[in-house]
């Protein structure tokens, strides 16, 4: 004779405790997701933007001779512009699509954006840049290794895949002003599309307006400064290569250029937003 045993989870202490624990964990996970939903969106939007842009750099540099000439400059600028449009489009419905510390800090200074939320956004954007650089390095490890050994003989040449630097005929001062002015123009383009008086249809064009503006700026100012206009785009990858084998040259190269693509865009973003508020 067989006996079937039915266990009721409502009356079984072990199953009930396990069920309650699972529900508690799920509630905690949902609470974290809800609290940091916008922060995660900023991380992912920045990650996509920087990863795809760096992939364009890597593709061009590791193909011998592909980086020479105006055609490559246009192709690189277009790739970065489209990458920015995609990154903003991903994050915008959730977080507003800053994907740029210069944008976030300009919003804090001129749009009463909450400082606590801004700190989360800034951290997410920088970490997104670091993660993007790490992923790119893993994907392009072979071509980067071959290029540094067989073509350029050293890490310094391949560092330009990840970080910006002044052009051969540009001083750090001219690069500083290129980054400042370029970021000011970028913020003007963004703020012009997202102001509250605009229709939703106009606001929906923000990713494409920002991407087109970056394409123009990178084409115009890239030969001077590398065309960053975004601290997360440069600082995140720079922190990665600092610990991934390129060493202290990530900081000291080009007369300690590292601070320029961080500070100049922050100033430029605030200047651009202020000018828009004064004259628009």
Separation CA 261–CA 123 (nearest Å): 17
Q: If we measure between CA atoms, which residue out of 114, 121, 113, 135 comes closest to residue 41?
A: 121
| 246-253 mean pLDDT | 94
pTM over 0.85: yes
- Fold held by 13-279: Glycerol uptake facilitator protein (1.20.1080)
- Please enumerate, as own/partner, the contacts of 115-124 that have beta carbons within 8 Å and a separation of 24 or more: 117/38, 120/36, 120/38, 120/39, 120/42, 121/38, 121/39, 121/42, 121/95, 123/39, 124/39, 124/40, 124/42, 124/43, 124/46
| 119-130 mean pLDDT | 99
> Tens digit of pLDDT for each residue in 93-116?
999 999 999 999 999 999 999 999
Question: How does residue 29 score in pLDDT terms, banded at 50, 70 and 90?
Answer: low
| 232-240 mean pLDDT | 98
Q: Are 110 and 102 in contact (CB under 8 A)?
A: no
pLDDT of residue 229: 99
For residue 129, count other CB atoms closer than 10 A to its CB: 31
Tell me the average pLDDT of the chain: 90
* Domain regions of the chain by residue span: 13-279
Question: How does residue 42 score in pLDDT terms, banded at 50, 70 and 90?
Answer: very high
């Amino acid at each position: 004779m067989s006996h079937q045993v039915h266990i009721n989870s409502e009356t079984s202490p072990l199953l009930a405790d396990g069920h309650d624990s699972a529900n508690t964990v799920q509630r905690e996970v949902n609470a974290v997701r809800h609290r940091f939903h916008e922060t995660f969106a900023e991380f992912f939007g920045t990650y996509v933007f920087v990863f795809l842009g760096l992939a364009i750099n890597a593709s061009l540099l590791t193909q011998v001779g592909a980086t020479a000439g105006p055609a490559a400059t246009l192709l690189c600028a277009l790739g970065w512009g489209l990458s920015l449009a995609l990154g903003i489009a991903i994050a915008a419905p959730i977080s507003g699509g800053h994907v740029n510390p210069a944008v976030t800090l300009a919003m804090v200074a001129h749009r009463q954006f909450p400082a606590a939320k801004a700190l989360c956004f800034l951290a997410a954007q920088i970490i997104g840049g670091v993660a993007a650089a790490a992923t790119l390095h893993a994907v392009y490890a072979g071509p980067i290794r071959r290029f540094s050994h067989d073509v350029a003989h050293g890490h310094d040449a391949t560092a330009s895949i990840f970080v910006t630097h002044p052009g051969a005929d540009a001083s750090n001062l001219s690069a500083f002003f290129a980054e400042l002015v370029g970021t000011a123009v970028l913020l003007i383009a963004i703020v012009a599309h997202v102001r509250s008086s605009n229709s939703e249809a106009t606001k929906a064009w923000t990713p494409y307006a920002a991407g087109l503006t970056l394409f123009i700026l990178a084409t115009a100012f890239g030969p001077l400064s590398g065309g960053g206009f975004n601290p997360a785009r440069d600082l995140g990858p720079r922190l990665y290569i600092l610990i991934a084998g390129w060493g202290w040259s990530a900081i000291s190269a080009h007369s300690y250029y590292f601070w320029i693509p961080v500070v100049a865009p922050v100033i430029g973003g605030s200047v651009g937003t202020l000018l828009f508020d004064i004259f628009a």
